């Protein structure tokens, strides 16, 4: 591996973005281009974070795709987007690549706003074949029969049922121009599991009883391969042949991390999304603090030692969700079901029916896919299973599809479901154990991405509510959900500086809410709810509903994430932009109460400038 290069040292990439120039390159030039691309990705991802191993593995494949097909007229679609960096480099974005995943810079996934070459930007796996099926149908119906649709999907994503639903439909139409490029590297995050993985391994190695690709041929699809995914000439030959056929699978064998020895030797997922590291050695740079994921993972190992009935499930994310330690300690009680969240939830329901206590760990954004199973398979049967949602709330630089902002809204309608939102490591441990102990319905425990803060002990307890702060008069009740507890305390301090008293509580369980919250709200003039989730249908709405049902007329103001797809940026920057900080909350409370009693409250100069409302305006609004 040559030393990493800076963007200014890029040579061939400057011209490769023009398709005719790319097609005119000689074999030595293409090899040099591939090296430039790898060097640039390595240099940038080491400093910005992002997906590395998967992108290093598809450099030659992406070059071949852009030499055989004419994008954007021919449509190149990528499943999950973990492998789109080479595509970005070859479509004119090499000179912006240093700003990868930074605010205002390139997204870590495909992005329609960035380029006409990016067709889809949903980074959830196993979806691309459905897009391809629909797009090919659209071109046929509109007379654009010469446009090719190419869907690149990994072997890991083929463990998802949606991919096979799409293949079933693609195979039924022999006249559509759909090419399925199966990027087979034997891994998703970790090694691909199940019968599909075994079939592909036999095809790769020539050890199966059936010819390679017989599974796809039996569905009525064409099949070419296996093809060496790092041989541009062989790739071009297979892709060129596929252009002349009906729906065809081109089976491409690649190596994740190819060209960078530390990533090629990675057997424990470190270089899938490595974070910051030293590109010269491959060593990860020191991180600050213990992660929420790490706290969960260690507690699961302890629980597993105490309770032989506890089992763990993951959807192809053993390490990222913190279950690797549990798997090492109790491999017979750990189940990786592949990228199949729906099946994971259904299987967890079956385990619970069998008398075990399953814990299913997924990223919060991926729970959306298993909602029906949680509702109809787990909750309907009042099964004792626990869903642990990692990366809940704003995740920041991962982009709009990975913010875990939907769960507290969509889960409010599930009967019998209990949802816990811990504020620190101590609460995560205790609430996880409490959730596993509940026998008559599913539980959810959610926590954010990143380092867990220092423990924040309560100063008292009202019902199930932890009281974190109580100062002065009972003007404002701050309901701080989970990791926003510290922001709630800071809000109370800012209010106190304005002469307002505040009580800060952490509900711990946000579904169902403790009725004690309604009684407490009755004694305050305003309720502020701070939640790291979507405002629409979230905890704030549940608090308002609780108060209405209890005939409490204290007004409620909710601070959370707007119902919008947030662009990638750092978590702190996003929280500030959407007003989910103590400064914003204190200012809003002060202004609201000033409008209610304009002559009583001082102007909130310390909260960011002069009061925006004149006394005349405030009096008029109060009177109305």
Q: What is the largest CA-CA distance in the chain?
A: 86
DSSP 394: -
Task: Give me the pLDDT at residue 117, please.
Answer: 96
Name which CATH class applies to 460-623: alpha beta
DSSP 563: S
* Annotated catalytic residue 511: no
Which DSSP string do the residues of 6-62 spell out, in sequence order?
-GGG--THHHHTSHHHHHH--HHHHHHHHHHHHHHHHHHHHHH----HHHHTTHHHH
For the domain bounded by 7-264, which CATH number is listed? 3.40.50.970
Which DSSP string do the residues of 158-189 spell out, in sequence order?
GGSHHHHHHHHHHTT-TTS-EEEEEEE-SBSS
Candidates 114, 299, 341, 591; catalytic one = 341
More confident residue, 400 or 118: 118
Secondary structure (3-state) at 575: helix
181 DSSP β-pair partners: 152, 250
- What's the whole-number mean pLDDT along residues 187-202? 78
* Annotated catalytic residue 101: no
460 DSSP β-pair partners: 467
Residue ranges of the binding site: 82, 123-125, 155-157, 185, 260, 341
Candidates 176, 256, 418, 525; catalytic one = 256
Nearest by Cα to 117 from 44, 65, 47? 65
More confident residue, 538 or 622: 538
* Annotated catalytic residue 449: no
Task: Give me the pLDDT at residue 601, please.
Answer: 46
Residue ranges of the binding site for Mg(2+): 155, 185
Nearest by Cα to 445 from 455, 431, 457? 431
Structure tokens at 547: 């108060």
Cα(53)–Cα(266) distance, rounded to whole angstroms? 9
Candidates 101, 176, 204, 369; catalytic one = 369
Secondary structure (3-state) at 252: strand
Looking up tokens 């002349």, which residue turns up?
A: 244
Cα(342)–Cα(366) distance, rounded to whole angstroms? 10
Residue ranges of the binding site for thiamine diphosphate: 82, 123-125, 156-157, 185, 260, 341
pLDDT in tens, 275-286: 788 888 888 887
Looking up tokens 């889960």, which residue turns up?
A: 411
Task: Answer whether residue 152 shows pLDDT above 90.
Answer: yes
pLDDT in tens, 199-235: 888 888 878 788 888 999 999 999 999 999 999 999 9
| Residue 470 CB coordination number (10 Å) | 15
pLDDT in tens, 43-76: 999 999 888 999 999 999 999 999 999 999 999 9
CA distance to 169, 513, 542, per residue, from 382 (Å)? 36, 19, 22
Cα(193)–Cα(401) distance, rounded to whole angstroms? 25
More confident residue, 341 or 5: 341
> Do 560 and 532 form a contact (C-beta atoms < 8 A)?
yes
Task: Give me the pLDDT at residue 372, please.
Answer: 97
Nearest by Cα to 461 from 501, 403, 520? 520
CA distance to 262, 456, 459, 499, per residue, from 493 (Å)? 49, 16, 16, 10
Looking up tokens 């605010």, which residue turns up?
A: 103
Q: Does domain 292-446 have CATH number 3.40.50.970?
A: yes
Domain boundaries, the chain: 7-264, 292-446, 460-623
Secondary structure (3-state) at 504: strand
Look at strands 556-561 and 526-534 and give their pairing.
parallel
């Amino acid at each position: 591996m040559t030393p990493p290069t800076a963007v200014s040292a890029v040579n061939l990439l400057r011209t490769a973005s023009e398709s005719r120039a790319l097609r005119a390159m000689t074999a030595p030039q293409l090899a040099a281009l591939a090296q430039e691309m790898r060097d640039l990705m390595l240099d940038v991802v080491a400093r910005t974070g992002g997906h590395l191993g998967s992108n290093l593995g598809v450099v030659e494949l992406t070059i071949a795709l852009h030499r055989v097909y004419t994008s954007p007229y021919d449509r190149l679609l990528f499943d999950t987007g973990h492998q789109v960096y080479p595509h970005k480099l070859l479509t004119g974005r090499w000179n912006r690549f240093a700003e990868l995943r930074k605010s205002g810079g390139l997204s870590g996934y495909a992005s329609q706003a960035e380029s006409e070459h990016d067709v889809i930007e949903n980074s959830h796996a196993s979806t691309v074949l459905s897009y391809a099926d629909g797009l090919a149908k659209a071109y046929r119906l509109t007379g654009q029969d010469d446009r090719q649709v190419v869907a690149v999907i990994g072997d890991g994503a083929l463990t998802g049922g949606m991919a096979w639903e799409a293949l079933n439909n693609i195979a039924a139409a022999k006249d559509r121009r759909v090419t399925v490029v199966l990027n087979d590297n034997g891994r998703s995050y970790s090694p691909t599991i199940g019968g599909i993985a075994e079939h592909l391994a036999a095809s790769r190695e020539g050890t199966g009883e059936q010819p390679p690709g017989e599974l796809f041929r039996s569905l009525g699809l064409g099949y070419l391969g296996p093809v060496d995914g790092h041989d541009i000439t062989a790739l071009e030959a297979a892709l060129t042949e596929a252009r002349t056929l009906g729906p065809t699978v081109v089976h491409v064998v690649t190596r994740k991390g190819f060209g960078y020895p530390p990533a090629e030797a990675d057997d424990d997922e470190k270089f899938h999304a490595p974070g910051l590291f030293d590109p010269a050695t491959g060593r990860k740079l020191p991180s600050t603090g213990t992660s929420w994921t790490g706290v969960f993972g260690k507690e699961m190992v302890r629980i597993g030692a105490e309770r032989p009935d506890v089992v763990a499930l993951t959807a192809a994310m053993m390490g990222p969700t913190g279950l690797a330690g549990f798997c090492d300690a109790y491999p017979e009680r750990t189940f990786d079901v592949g990228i199949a969240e729906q099946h994971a939830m259904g299987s967890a329901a079956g385990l619970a029916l069998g008398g075990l206590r399953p814990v299913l760990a997924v990223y919060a954004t991926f729970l959306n896919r298993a909602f029906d199973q949680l509702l109809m398979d787990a909750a309907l049967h009042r099964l004792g299973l626990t869903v642990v949602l990692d990366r809940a709330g704003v995740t920041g630089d991962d982009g709009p599809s990975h913010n875990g902002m939907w769960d507290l809204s969509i889960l409010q309608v599930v009967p019998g479901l209990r949802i816990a939102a811990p504020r620190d490591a101590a609460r995560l441990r205790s609430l996880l154990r409490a959730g596993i102990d509940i026998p008559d319905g599913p539980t959810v425990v959610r926590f954010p991405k990143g380092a867990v803060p220092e423990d924040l002990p309560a100063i008292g307890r009202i019902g199930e509510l932890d009281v974190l702060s109580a100062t002065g008069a009972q003007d404002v009740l701050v309901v701080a959900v989970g990791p926003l507890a510290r922001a709630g305390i800071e809000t109370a301090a800012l209010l106190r500086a304005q002469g307002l008293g505040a009580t800060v509580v952490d509900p711990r369980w946000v579904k169902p809410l403790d009725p004690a919250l309604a009684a407490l709200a009755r004694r305050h003039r305003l309720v502020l709810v701070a939640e790291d989730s979507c405002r629409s249908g979230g905890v704030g709405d549940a608090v308002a509903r609780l108060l209405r049902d209890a005939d409490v007329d204290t007004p409620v103001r909710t601070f959370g994430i707007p119902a919008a797809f947030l662009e990638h940026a750092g978590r702190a920057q996003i929280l500030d932009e959407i007003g989910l900080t103590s400064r914003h909350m204190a200012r809003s409370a002060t202004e609201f109460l000033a409008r209610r009693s304009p002559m009583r409250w001082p102007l909130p100069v310390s909260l960011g400038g002069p009061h925006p409302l004149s006394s005349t305006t405030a009096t008029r609004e109060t009177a109305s």
